[in-house]
């Protein structure tokens, strides 16, 4: 199985700050990487698919990038509604595997 190592596990940031979360794949997954946001008590919401494509309705302050087998989610100017837990997912090969999650809090 492909392992997705997500970091950091938790992150405290200030409003308007730039936030970056990364996922390291244990092998090549191409662009088969998605990012999700989960707010408390809610189901996950797709933010980024294909490593860099913004899902419909997602604010443009969210962006995704890839460097080899390392993938990053960037929030350019943190807003209060961005608080939650973020997960990456590789869908390159079965079984699909999630990163462990990053809990994003306001400082």
Partner 1 sequence: EVQLVESGGGLVQPGRSLKLSCLASGFTFSNYGMNWIRQAPGKGLEWVASISSSSSYIYYADTVKGRFTISRDNAKNTLYLQMTSLRSEDTALYYCARRGYFDFWGPGTMVTVSS
Which residues here bind partner 1, judged by CB under 8 A?
32, 34, 36, 42-46, 49-50, 55, 87, 89, 91, 94-101
For partner 1, the closer of residues 13 and 58 by Cβ is 58
Cβ–Cβ under 8 Å, residues 45 and 36: yes
CB nearer to partner 1: give 39 or 77: 39
Q: Are 33 and 66 in contact (CB under 8 A)?
A: yes
Indicate the residue among 16 and 56 with the shorter CB distance to partner 1: 56
Q: What are phi and psi of 87, to 5 degrees?
A: -130, 145
């Amino acid at each position: 199985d492909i392992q997705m190592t997500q970091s950091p596990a938790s992150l405290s940031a200030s409003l308007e700050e730039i936030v970056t979360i990364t996922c390291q794949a244990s092998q090549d997954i191409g662009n088969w990487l998605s990012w999700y946001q989960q707010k408390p008590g809610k189901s996950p919401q797709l933010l980024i698919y294909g490593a860099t494509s913004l899902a419909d309705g997602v604010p443009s302050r969210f962006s995704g990038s890839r460097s080899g087998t390392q993938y990053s989610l960037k929030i350019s100017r943190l807003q209060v509604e961005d608080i939650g837990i973020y997960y990456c997912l590789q869908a390159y090969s079965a079984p699909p595997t999630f990163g462990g999650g990053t809990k994003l809090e306001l400082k």
